[in-house]
Amino acid sequence: MPQQKDIVKIAIQMPGAYPQLIQLDQKKPLSAVIKEVCDGWNLPGPENYALQYADGVQTYITESNRLDIKNGCILRLTKAPGRCAEDLFRGIQSSDSGVRCDSLKELASVSTDVTFAQEFISRDGHLLLVKIVEDSHESNVIMTHTLTGFMELMDHGIVSWENLSTVFIKKIASFVNAKPTDASIQQVSLDILESMVLSSHSLFLQVKQEVTMERLIAHLQVTNQQIQTKAMALLMALLQTAGDSDRQDMFAFLNKKNLRQYIYKNIIHSSGSVQDEMAHYLYVLQSVTLNHLEPRMRTPLDCYSQEQRDILHGLRQAAFETESDNSLSNERRRSLCAKEFKKLGFSNNSNPGQDLVRTPPGLLALDTMFYFASRYPDAYSRFVLENSSREDKHECPFARSSIQLTLILCEILRIGEPPSETGSDYHPIFFSQDRLMEELFCVCIQLLNKTWKEMRATQEDFDKVMQVVREQITRTLSSKPTSLELFKNKVNVLNYSEILKLRQTERLHQEETLAPPVLELKERLKPELLELIRQQRLNRLCQGTMFRKISSRRRQDKLWYCRLSPNHKMLHYGDVEEDTDSPAIETLQEKIPIADIKGLLTGKDCPHMKENKGKQNKEVLDLAFSITYDVEEYSLNFIAPSRTDFCLWTDGLSVLLGREMSSESMRSELEILLSMEIKLRLLDLENVPIPDSAPVVPKPPSNYNFCYDFSQTEQ
């Protein structure tokens, strides 16, 4: 008695007969099942029959795939694959053209089934099709069915493409090269050539010799979208299979004729499944084209290469007007070069080539810097000189930024990664711009300098700035700009403040999608974490901060110090000398009771900003704050040394006044703390042993010779 799970209830059909409802025993041989079905319809010779799915892909049922049959399936009793293959083999050789046409049409349909394909190929049926193509005496309709059937048979991988004759390959290529011919023949011929190219390098060489790039491009210019798609597929196969030399020749041809732009403009107007397929080919074209930069990206700078050293010195000379090197001693020349390389933003100013040893980006970073300096010399000089002349520790290092930016662009454009089989995310800007990598770099390095100033960044903020720049680039590219000018306009509008707004909006949206228990946990944690931030702010005020006074002559000429008393009752302040580090609270002569403070003012509302209305720049306005005390007739005016100090002091003073903290720094810190705390609370700690005591701190090393001596690079 078979088990219930081995029984499948199905229906079996046959033309001209009532369907049979049977319970298929999966443990019974398939031949026995077919015999029972034939007996039910009184059909002799059950070995001449087979079962096949009636709906969808009409695959033959075999012992290997019979377990895929589900309850409720509808099967059809049909000719066995061997018998069908024999009948079609004879029909294709018939002297009657109508019989040949019908047989080849049916062959094109049933060849999608691997079981039939094995039977037909075992009779050398594929060679019969090759002979028909080589003789080329048949009508266009018969030839189309012949080529379609051949392609379906070869798709199963039973026979190698390598076994095809040169005559056959030339004949297929002639169908593609012929101008006035049947579109269906050209479609399937393009398909066959694509499979040949992808199967081996020797076939690639034969196809490349027979089908010219000009003819392929002509197929991309027809109105038939299927022909366009197949031609694009063959073009991509040729590009992917070609060696470096052949690929460069193809790229040169595409660029010379502006064909990338033409291809893109034609293809974006295609529709439906054709558009999806074309999108993949556009992605492949972009990927293969940009990947020619990979060798440069993987090659480190060779310090012994005179050419590369000359390029490095060319960057330095383009940025600074120096004395003639010939008139300087060797020591003086080395010292001057080191100073200028440091101003240029190299970490290792005595040997700047060491900065370009890391791969990626390797030599590609040197290429992009040199391209920017030679293509846009004014912008390059302005970038370098503007930052090398700054003395407030806010200079943006050109070389370090360029190296990191090149790496970011390589990652965004996926340079060095092979095209994905399903990839379709291409950048329209690629099809309108030659040397996309270099031109994007020129726009983005200037964007980086702009963002650096907007963030008032220092060297410690380098990674943070690069994250923002990466976000600016990726967000802008995701909007699919169709030209470099459009990209430039969009990315410059997307400034730092806009990035912060977008992050906040996305964070709020993310919170809305969180599960209710997580939201509840977040609300419970907030008061505790806010109190932690309040205490940190008050502790920071107790440590105190050095402030500068700005005179009417706009000269930063005096320093004063302000700090909160340990009991949080008094604000102590007073003038100090330049070399004072952290003065004791007793040395600060002036003080204001916290209880007397009436208000906190910021920006243009501050008294010292109103007095100089119209004379203060935005940077000073954003750092200004004041406290009013007594009966609001007196005020103590501040200009914070940095935005961080501004946030710390305005938050701390708000806490002392019993108000809510409102700075962007507080919001960012709260979000980080909440995120970390929730992740810790949601960790699965089951069966994870938690020690009762902290691990033992290891002994200090006997020496510190492994530490890098930064003082060497400063010389």
Residue 116 in contact with residue 57, Cβ under 8 Å? no
Question: Residue 544's pLDDT is what?
Answer: 93
User: Coil, strand or helix: which one is 231?
Assistant: helix
Q: How many domains does the chain have?
A: 4
Residues 566, 594, single domain; the answer is yes
Q: How many CB atoms lie within 10 A of CB 534?
A: 17
Mean pLDDT score of the chain: 87
pLDDT per position as a tens digit, 70-109? 998 999 999 999 999 999 999 999 999 999 999 999 999 9
Higher pLDDT, 378 or 326: 378
What is the separation of C-alpha 224 from the centre of its chain, rounded to a whole number of angstroms? 33
State yes or no: pLDDT of 555 exceeds 60.
Answer: no
Q: Residue 714: pLDDT band by 50, 70, 90 thresholds?
A: very low
pLDDT of residue 94: 92
Determine the Cα–Cα distance for residues 591 and 715; give it in Å rounded to an integer: 45
How far is the CA of 577 from the CAs of 114, 412, 558, 580, 583, in angstroms?
Answer: 90, 50, 8, 5, 10
**Residue 647 amino acid letter:** C
Same domain, 282 and 381: no
Residue 702 lies in a domain: no
pLDDT at 471 over 60: yes
Clarify whether residues 491 and 550 are in a common domain.
no
Question: Residue 635 is encoded by which pair of tokens?
Answer: 């005020």
Residue 575 belongs to domain spanning: 527-667
Place of tokens 């293809």: 267
Question: How far separated are the first and last CA of the chain, in Å rounded?
Answer: 92
263 DSSP 8-state letter: H
For residues 32 and 120, state if they share a domain: no
CA–CA distance, 296 with 299 (Å, rounded to integer): 5
Between these two residues, 256 and 582, which has the higher pLDDT value? 582
How much is the average pLDDT of 462-479?
94
Considering only residues 542 and 329, tell me which one the structure prediction assigns the higher pLDDT: 542
The better pLDDT of the pair 441, 683 is held by 441
- Count helices and strands in the chain by DSSP H and E runs: 29, 11
* pLDDT (0 to 100) of residue 393: 76
Q: pLDDT (tens digit, 9 = 90+) per residue, 377-405?
A: 999 999 998 888 776 678 899 999 999 99
CATH number at residue 168: 1.25.10.10
- pLDDT value of position 131: 94
Percentage of residues in the chain having pLDDT higher than 90: 48
User: Band of the pLDDT at 713, cuts 50, 70, 90?
Assistant: very low
Give the helix/strand (H/E) hosting 543. helix 516-543
120-156 pLDDT, tens per residue? Answer: 999 999 999 999 999 888 889 999 999 999 999 999 9
pLDDT at 633: 74
Judge contact between 229 and 274, C-beta under 8 A. yes
How large is the average pLDDT for residues 494-515? 83
In a domain, 19, yes or no: yes
The arithmetic mean of pLDDT across residues 587-616, rounded, is 83
> E strands along 504-587, which residues?
545-550, 556-564, 570-576
CA 702 to chain centre: 46
Mean pLDDT of 523-541: 94
64 within domain boundaries: yes
Q: Which of 646, 667, 688 is the last residue of a domain?
A: 667
Q: Kindly report which listed range (248-257, 363-372, 598-607, 639-648) carries the lowest average pLDDT score.
A: 248-257
Q: Would 676 be classed as within a structural domain?
A: no
| pLDDT-derived band at 1, boundaries 50, 70, 90 | very low
Torsion (CA) 612, 614, 616, 622 in degrees, nearest 10: 110
Position 182 scores a pLDDT of: 77
With 60 as the cut, is the pLDDT of residue 113 above it? yes
pLDDT tens figures, 571-593: 999 998 877 788 888 889 899 99
Query: 29 and 171 share a domain?
Result: no
Least confident piece of the model among 75-84, 252-261, 424-433, 641-650: 252-261
Answer yes or no: do 119 and 140 share one domain: yes
Q: What angle do CA 385, 391, 394 make, to 5 degrees?
A: 80
Q: Read off the pLDDT of residues 31-56 as tens digits, 9 standing for 90 and up.
A: 999 999 999 999 999 999 999 998 88
* Residues 453 and 405 occupy one common structural domain: yes
Q: Is residue 317 part of a domain?
A: no
Mean pLDDT throughout 440-460? 93
Specify the pLDDT at position 632: 65
Residues 547 and 485 in one domain: no
Most confident stretch, 13-22, 416-425, 625-634: 13-22
Give the CATH number of the domain where residue 602 resides.
Answer: 2.30.29.30
Measured at the alpha carbon of residue 280, what is the angle toward residues 162 and 426, in degrees to the nearest 5?
A: 135
Same-domain pairing of 87 and 75: no
User: Is residue 275 classed exposed, middle or buried when 0-12, 13-18 and 19+ CB atoms within 10 A define those classes?
Assistant: middle
16 pLDDT band (50/70/90 cuts)?
confident
Extract the tokens encoding 585: 């609270």
- Last residue of one domain, picked from the residues 297, 323, 346: 297
Between strands 74-79 and 7-13, the pairing is parallel
Q: Is the domain of 532 the same as that of 580? A: yes
CATH code for the domain in which residue 41 is found: 3.10.20.90
User: Does the residue 143 lie in any domain?
Assistant: yes
**What is residue 276's predicted lDDT score, i.e. its pLDDT?**
77
pLDDT band at 679 (very low <50, low <70, confident <90, very high): confident
Q: What residues contact residue 581 under an 8 Å CB cut-off, 6+ apart?
A: none
Instruction: Tell me the C-alpha distance between 278 and 258, whole Å.
Output: 18
Query: Is residue 267 included in any domain, yes or no?
Result: yes
Q: Which of 139-153, 286-300, 343-357, 612-626 comes out lowest in average pLDDT?
A: 612-626
Among 335, 464, 332, 333, smallest CA distance to 396 is for: 464
Percent over 70 (pLDDT), the chain: 91
Q: What is the 3-state secondary structure (H, E, C) of 467-507?
A: HHHHHHHHHHHHCCCCCHHHHHHHHHHCCHHHHHHHHHHHH
Q: What is the predicted pLDDT for the residue at 669?
A: 92
Q: Which of 272, 297, 322 is the last residue of a domain?
A: 297
Cis peptide preceding 593, ω within 30 of 0: no
**Whether 282 and 215 share a structural domain:** yes
**Tokens of residue 658, six digits:** 């019993």
Do both 403 and 479 map to the same domain? yes
The pLDDT score that the predictor gives to residue 190 is: 94
Evaluate whether 339 touches 319 at the Cβ level (below 8 Å): no
Of residues 204 and 615, more confidence is placed in 204
Q: 269 pLDDT band (50/70/90 cuts)? A: low
Classify residue 15: in a domain, yes or no: yes
Q: What would the mean pLDDT of 296-316 be, rounded to a whole number? A: 90
CA separation for the pair 114, 584 (Å, rounded): 89
